[in-house]
Structure 1
Protein backbone atom coordinates (compact mmCIF):
# COMPACT_ATOMS: atom_id res chain seq x y z
CA UNK A 1 0.00 0.00 0.00
CA UNK A 2 2.66 2.53 0.80
CA UNK A 3 6.16 3.61 1.48
CA UNK A 4 5.89 5.54 4.74
CA UNK A 5 9.17 7.40 4.12
CA UNK A 6 7.16 10.37 2.83
CA UNK A 7 4.49 10.14 5.53
CA UNK A 8 5.47 13.58 6.86
CA UNK A 9 4.74 15.40 3.57
CA UNK A 10 1.32 17.01 3.37
CA UNK A 11 -1.38 17.01 0.74
CA UNK A 12 -2.47 20.35 -0.70
CA UNK A 13 -5.84 21.73 0.42
CA UNK A 14 -8.77 20.40 -1.58
CA UNK A 15 -10.16 22.64 -4.32
CA UNK A 16 -13.73 23.00 -3.09
CA UNK A 17 -14.79 25.21 -6.02
CA UNK A 18 -13.65 22.56 -8.51
CA UNK A 19 -15.37 19.88 -6.42
CA UNK A 20 -18.62 21.85 -6.59
CA UNK A 21 -18.25 22.13 -10.38
CA UNK A 22 -17.65 18.38 -10.69
CA UNK A 23 -20.70 17.66 -8.51
CA UNK A 24 -22.90 20.04 -10.52
CA UNK A 25 -21.80 18.40 -13.79
CA UNK A 26 -22.74 15.00 -12.35
CA UNK A 27 -26.08 16.26 -10.99
CA UNK A 28 -26.95 17.73 -14.41
CA UNK A 29 -26.01 14.54 -16.26
CA UNK A 30 -27.43 12.04 -13.73
CA UNK A 31 -30.26 13.76 -11.80
CA UNK A 32 -32.01 10.48 -10.94
CA UNK A 33 -29.02 9.20 -8.93
CA UNK A 34 -27.47 12.46 -7.71
CA UNK A 35 -30.20 12.94 -5.13
CA UNK A 36 -28.11 13.59 -1.99
CA UNK A 37 -29.77 16.28 0.12
CA UNK A 38 -26.41 17.64 1.32
CA UNK A 39 -23.44 18.27 -0.95
CA UNK A 40 -21.08 15.28 -0.92
CA UNK A 41 -18.00 15.25 1.26
CA UNK A 42 -14.74 16.09 -0.47
CA UNK A 43 -12.04 13.65 0.63
CA UNK A 44 -8.82 11.98 -0.30
CA UNK A 45 -7.34 8.59 0.34
CA UNK A 46 -4.25 8.33 2.53
CA UNK A 47 -2.43 10.84 4.68
CA UNK A 48 0.45 12.02 2.49
CA UNK A 49 0.88 12.84 -1.22
CA UNK A 50 2.56 9.61 -2.32
CA UNK A 51 -0.08 7.42 -0.66
CA UNK A 52 -2.97 9.64 -1.74
CA UNK A 53 -2.00 9.45 -5.40
CA UNK A 54 -1.14 5.75 -5.24
CA UNK A 55 -4.57 4.88 -3.84
CA UNK A 56 -6.44 7.21 -6.18
CA UNK A 57 -4.59 5.64 -9.12
CA UNK A 58 -5.88 2.24 -7.96
CA UNK A 59 -9.42 3.65 -7.99
CA UNK A 60 -8.95 5.14 -11.48
CA UNK A 61 -7.41 1.91 -12.81
CA UNK A 62 -10.19 -0.22 -11.34
CA UNK A 63 -8.92 -2.63 -8.69
CA UNK A 64 -9.76 -0.43 -5.68
CA UNK A 65 -13.48 -0.55 -4.95
CA UNK A 66 -13.39 -0.46 -1.16
CA UNK A 67 -11.89 1.57 1.64
CA UNK A 68 -11.60 1.35 5.42
CA UNK A 69 -11.68 4.31 7.79
CA UNK A 70 -11.66 4.45 11.56
CA UNK A 71 -14.92 5.72 13.04
CA UNK A 72 -12.71 7.99 15.16
CA UNK A 73 -11.42 9.71 12.00
CA UNK A 74 -14.99 10.68 11.02
CA UNK A 75 -15.64 11.86 14.57
CA UNK A 76 -12.43 13.94 14.66
CA UNK A 77 -13.45 15.71 11.44
CA UNK A 78 -17.02 16.16 12.74
CA UNK A 79 -18.36 14.25 9.72
CA UNK A 80 -21.28 11.85 9.68
CA UNK A 81 -20.60 8.27 8.75
CA UNK A 82 -21.30 7.50 5.08
CA UNK A 83 -24.62 5.99 4.05
CA UNK A 84 -25.36 3.45 1.33
CA UNK A 85 -26.22 5.46 -1.78
CA UNK A 86 -24.43 8.60 -0.65
CA UNK A 87 -21.72 10.17 -2.78
CA UNK A 88 -18.28 11.57 -2.06
CA UNK A 89 -15.65 13.26 -4.16
CA UNK A 90 -12.09 11.91 -4.14
CA UNK A 91 -9.22 14.34 -4.72
CA UNK A 92 -5.59 13.80 -5.62
CA UNK A 93 -2.65 15.08 -3.56
CA UNK A 94 -2.78 18.49 -5.30
CA UNK A 95 -6.35 18.93 -4.07
CA UNK A 96 -7.90 18.46 -7.51
CA UNK A 97 -11.18 16.53 -7.47
CA UNK A 98 -10.88 13.53 -9.77
CA UNK A 99 -13.89 11.24 -9.32
CA UNK A 100 -17.24 10.95 -7.66
CA UNK A 101 -17.81 7.73 -5.72
CA UNK A 102 -21.10 6.26 -4.54
CA UNK A 103 -21.23 4.06 -1.43
CA UNK A 104 -22.74 0.65 -2.18
CA UNK A 105 -22.06 -1.26 1.03
CA UNK A 106 -21.14 -0.21 4.57
CA UNK A 107 -20.53 -2.01 7.80
CA UNK A 108 -18.86 -1.28 11.10
CA UNK A 109 -16.24 -3.81 12.13
CA UNK A 110 -13.03 -4.28 14.07
CA UNK A 111 -9.74 -5.48 12.63
CA UNK A 112 -10.43 -9.19 13.21
CA UNK A 113 -13.77 -8.91 11.34
CA UNK A 114 -12.15 -7.95 8.03
CA UNK A 115 -12.07 -10.85 5.57
CA UNK A 116 -10.06 -11.78 2.47
CA UNK A 117 -12.82 -10.58 0.15
CA UNK A 118 -12.79 -7.06 1.58
CA UNK A 119 -8.98 -6.91 1.53
CA UNK A 120 -9.03 -7.99 -2.12
CA UNK A 121 -11.63 -5.35 -3.02
CA UNK A 122 -9.44 -2.63 -1.51
CA UNK A 123 -7.07 -3.43 -4.39
CA UNK A 124 -3.89 -2.59 -2.51
CA UNK A 125 -0.54 -4.35 -2.27
CA UNK A 126 -0.80 -8.04 -3.12
CA UNK A 127 -4.53 -7.91 -2.20
CA UNK A 128 -4.15 -10.44 0.63
CA UNK A 129 -5.63 -10.04 4.08
CA UNK A 130 -2.17 -10.24 5.67
CA UNK A 131 -0.78 -7.32 3.65
CA UNK A 132 -4.03 -5.39 4.13
CA UNK A 133 -3.72 -5.73 7.90
CA UNK A 134 -0.04 -4.76 7.96
CA UNK A 135 -0.57 -1.67 5.81
CA UNK A 136 -3.73 -0.51 7.54
CA UNK A 137 -2.39 -0.99 11.07
CA UNK A 138 0.66 1.08 10.09
CA UNK A 139 -1.61 3.79 8.66
CA UNK A 140 -3.99 3.75 11.64
CA UNK A 141 -1.11 4.02 14.10
CA UNK A 142 -0.15 7.27 12.35
CA UNK A 143 -3.78 8.44 12.27
CA UNK A 144 -4.49 7.78 15.93
CA UNK A 145 -1.18 9.39 16.95
CA UNK A 146 -2.29 12.55 15.09
CA UNK A 147 -5.64 12.34 16.88
CA UNK A 148 -3.93 12.00 20.25
CA UNK A 149 -4.58 8.41 21.23
CA UNK A 150 -3.13 4.95 20.68
CA UNK A 151 -4.38 2.52 18.05
CA UNK A 152 -5.83 -0.75 19.31
CA UNK A 153 -7.31 -3.65 17.29
CA UNK A 154 -10.75 -3.15 18.87
CA UNK A 155 -11.30 0.33 17.38
CA UNK A 156 -14.35 0.51 15.15
CA UNK A 157 -13.71 0.67 11.40
CA UNK A 158 -16.11 1.72 8.64
CA UNK A 159 -15.74 -0.81 5.83
CA UNK A 160 -17.08 0.74 2.66
CA UNK A 161 -17.48 -0.56 -0.85
CA UNK A 162 -18.13 1.95 -3.60
CA UNK A 163 -18.64 2.46 -7.32
CA UNK A 164 -16.99 5.14 -9.41
CA UNK A 165 -19.92 7.05 -10.95
CA UNK A 166 -18.36 10.19 -12.49
CA UNK A 167 -16.83 11.21 -14.79
CA UNK A 168 -18.41 8.73 -17.16
CA UNK A 169 -15.03 7.74 -18.61
CA UNK A 170 -14.16 6.34 -15.17
CA UNK A 171 -17.61 5.00 -14.23
CA UNK A 172 -18.39 1.31 -14.22
CA UNK A 173 -21.94 1.71 -15.53
Structure 2
Protein backbone atom coordinates (compact mmCIF):
# COMPACT_ATOMS: atom_id res chain seq x y z
CA UNK A 1 0.00 0.00 0.00
CA UNK A 2 3.02 2.28 -0.20
CA UNK A 3 2.63 2.89 -3.92
CA UNK A 4 -0.40 3.98 -5.93
CA UNK A 5 -2.31 1.45 -8.01
CA UNK A 6 -2.48 2.01 -11.75
CA UNK A 7 -5.15 0.27 -13.83
CA UNK A 8 -5.45 0.44 -17.61
CA UNK A 9 -8.46 -0.77 -19.57
CA UNK A 10 -8.70 -0.88 -23.36
CA UNK A 11 -11.58 -1.68 -25.72
CA UNK A 12 -11.48 -2.12 -29.46
CA UNK A 13 -14.21 -3.36 -31.79
CA UNK A 14 -16.73 -2.64 -34.51
CA UNK A 15 -20.41 -1.85 -34.32
CA UNK A 16 -23.11 -2.56 -36.93
CA UNK A 17 -26.70 -1.53 -36.79
CA UNK A 18 -27.94 -4.93 -37.97
CA UNK A 19 -26.53 -8.41 -37.89
CA UNK A 20 -27.34 -8.99 -41.60
CA UNK A 21 -25.19 -6.08 -42.70
CA UNK A 22 -21.95 -8.00 -42.51
CA UNK A 23 -20.47 -6.46 -45.62
CA UNK A 24 -21.80 -3.02 -45.26
CA UNK A 25 -20.68 0.00 -43.34
CA UNK A 26 -19.65 -0.32 -39.82
CA UNK A 27 -18.26 1.93 -37.22
CA UNK A 28 -15.03 1.24 -35.40
CA UNK A 29 -15.14 1.69 -31.67
CA UNK A 30 -12.18 2.00 -29.38
CA UNK A 31 -11.59 3.30 -25.92
CA UNK A 32 -8.73 3.51 -23.46
CA UNK A 33 -9.25 4.29 -19.81
CA UNK A 34 -6.83 4.58 -16.96
CA UNK A 35 -7.23 4.79 -13.24
CA UNK A 36 -4.74 5.81 -10.59
CA UNK A 37 -5.66 5.25 -6.96
CA UNK A 38 -3.86 5.49 -3.68
CA UNK A 39 -4.22 6.95 -0.24
CA UNK A 40 -3.76 10.67 -0.02
CA UNK A 41 -3.72 10.88 3.77
CA UNK A 42 -4.22 8.05 6.23
CA UNK A 43 -2.44 9.45 9.28
CA UNK A 44 0.50 6.99 9.11
CA UNK A 45 -1.70 3.89 9.07
CA UNK A 46 0.22 2.31 6.18
CA UNK A 47 3.59 2.80 7.85
CA UNK A 48 2.17 1.60 11.17
CA UNK A 49 0.79 -1.53 9.54
CA UNK A 50 4.17 -2.19 7.94
CA UNK A 51 5.99 -1.74 11.24
CA UNK A 52 3.50 -4.04 13.01
CA UNK A 53 4.08 -6.71 10.37
CA UNK A 54 7.84 -6.41 10.77
CA UNK A 55 7.47 -6.66 14.57
CA UNK A 56 5.27 -9.77 14.26
CA UNK A 57 7.80 -11.38 11.94
CA UNK A 58 10.62 -10.58 14.37
CA UNK A 59 8.62 -11.99 17.27
CA UNK A 60 7.93 -15.21 15.36
CA UNK A 61 11.62 -15.50 14.45
CA UNK A 62 12.70 -15.03 18.08
CA UNK A 63 10.15 -17.57 19.30
CA UNK A 64 11.44 -20.07 16.75
CA UNK A 65 15.04 -19.46 17.81
CA UNK A 66 14.05 -19.89 21.46
CA UNK A 67 12.27 -23.15 20.68
CA UNK A 68 15.31 -24.47 18.82
CA UNK A 69 17.68 -23.47 21.63
CA UNK A 70 15.40 -25.06 24.22
CA UNK A 71 15.21 -28.27 22.22
CA UNK A 72 18.99 -28.39 21.81
CA UNK A 73 19.49 -27.76 25.53
CA UNK A 74 17.03 -30.51 26.45
CA UNK A 75 18.74 -33.00 24.12
CA UNK A 76 22.15 -32.03 25.47
CA UNK A 77 20.98 -32.35 29.08
CA UNK A 78 19.46 -35.77 28.41
CA UNK A 79 22.59 -37.03 26.65
CA UNK A 80 24.80 -35.73 29.46
CA UNK A 81 22.59 -37.36 32.07
CA UNK A 82 22.67 -40.65 30.14
CA UNK A 83 26.46 -40.58 30.00
CA UNK A 84 26.87 -39.83 33.69
CA UNK A 85 24.25 -42.36 34.75
CA UNK A 86 25.81 -45.06 32.58
CA UNK A 87 29.17 -44.45 34.26
CA UNK A 88 27.54 -44.44 37.69
CA UNK A 89 25.69 -47.66 36.89
CA UNK A 90 28.90 -49.37 35.82
CA UNK A 91 30.67 -48.36 39.03
CA UNK A 92 27.74 -49.25 41.25
CA UNK A 93 27.31 -52.59 39.49
CA UNK A 94 30.95 -53.41 40.27
CA UNK A 95 30.41 -52.43 43.89
CA UNK A 96 27.29 -54.62 44.15
CA UNK A 97 29.12 -57.59 42.64
CA UNK A 98 31.99 -57.12 45.08
CA UNK A 99 29.55 -56.90 48.01
CA UNK A 100 27.68 -59.99 46.80
CA UNK A 101 30.98 -61.80 46.72
CA UNK A 102 31.74 -60.54 50.24
CA UNK A 103 28.36 -61.84 51.46
CA UNK A 104 29.14 -65.18 49.83
CA UNK A 105 32.52 -65.34 51.54
CA UNK A 106 31.01 -64.34 54.89
CA UNK A 107 28.32 -67.00 54.49
CA UNK A 108 30.94 -69.63 53.65
CA UNK A 109 33.03 -68.62 56.66
CA UNK A 110 29.93 -68.87 58.86
CA UNK A 111 29.06 -72.33 57.47
CA UNK A 112 32.53 -73.63 58.18
CA UNK A 113 32.50 -72.14 61.68
CA UNK A 114 35.23 -69.61 60.99
CA UNK A 115 33.07 -66.55 61.70
CA UNK A 116 29.93 -65.54 63.53
CA UNK A 117 26.64 -64.80 61.82
CA UNK A 118 27.19 -61.17 62.75
CA UNK A 119 29.80 -60.97 59.96
CA UNK A 120 27.18 -62.20 57.44
CA UNK A 121 24.69 -59.60 58.68
CA UNK A 122 27.26 -56.81 58.38
CA UNK A 123 28.04 -57.83 54.79
CA UNK A 124 24.32 -57.92 53.96
CA UNK A 125 23.83 -54.49 55.56
CA UNK A 126 26.35 -53.12 53.10
CA UNK A 127 24.96 -55.07 50.13
CA UNK A 128 21.29 -54.13 50.33
CA UNK A 129 21.73 -50.31 50.24
CA UNK A 130 24.18 -50.75 47.36
CA UNK A 131 21.59 -52.81 45.47
CA UNK A 132 18.97 -50.17 46.16
CA UNK A 133 21.29 -47.45 44.89
CA UNK A 134 21.95 -49.50 41.75
CA UNK A 135 18.21 -49.87 41.17
CA UNK A 136 17.73 -46.10 41.57
CA UNK A 137 20.55 -45.38 39.12
CA UNK A 138 19.01 -47.77 36.58
CA UNK A 139 15.61 -46.14 37.07
CA UNK A 140 17.13 -42.68 36.58
CA UNK A 141 18.95 -43.87 33.46
CA UNK A 142 15.69 -45.17 31.98
CA UNK A 143 14.01 -41.87 32.84
CA UNK A 144 16.87 -40.08 31.07
CA UNK A 145 16.11 -42.18 27.98
CA UNK A 146 12.50 -41.03 28.22
CA UNK A 147 13.63 -37.41 28.51
CA UNK A 148 15.87 -37.85 25.48
CA UNK A 149 13.01 -39.37 23.50
CA UNK A 150 10.73 -36.48 24.43
CA UNK A 151 13.43 -33.90 23.66
CA UNK A 152 13.93 -35.43 20.22
CA UNK A 153 10.25 -34.91 19.45
CA UNK A 154 8.64 -38.02 20.83
CA UNK A 155 5.52 -37.64 22.86
CA UNK A 156 2.94 -39.40 24.89
CA UNK A 157 -0.67 -39.77 23.93
CA UNK A 158 -1.83 -41.09 27.30
CA UNK A 159 -2.58 -39.11 30.44
CA UNK A 160 -1.31 -40.19 33.85
CA UNK A 161 -4.70 -41.67 34.68
CA UNK A 162 -4.67 -43.72 31.47
CA UNK A 163 -1.19 -45.03 32.28
CA UNK A 164 -2.40 -46.04 35.74
CA UNK A 165 -5.48 -47.76 34.31
CA UNK A 166 -3.33 -49.74 31.86
CA UNK A 167 -0.93 -50.78 34.62
CA UNK A 168 -3.80 -52.02 36.77
CA UNK A 169 -5.31 -53.91 33.83
CA UNK A 170 -1.99 -55.69 33.17
CA UNK A 171 -1.66 -56.63 36.84
CA UNK A 172 -5.00 -58.49 36.74
TM class by smaller structure: under 0.3
Higher RCO (CA-CA < 8 Å; seq separation 6+): 1
Higher fraction of helix: 2
- Please give the TM-score of this superposition, normalised by the length of structure 1: 0.20
Q: Select the structure that is richer in strand.
A: 1
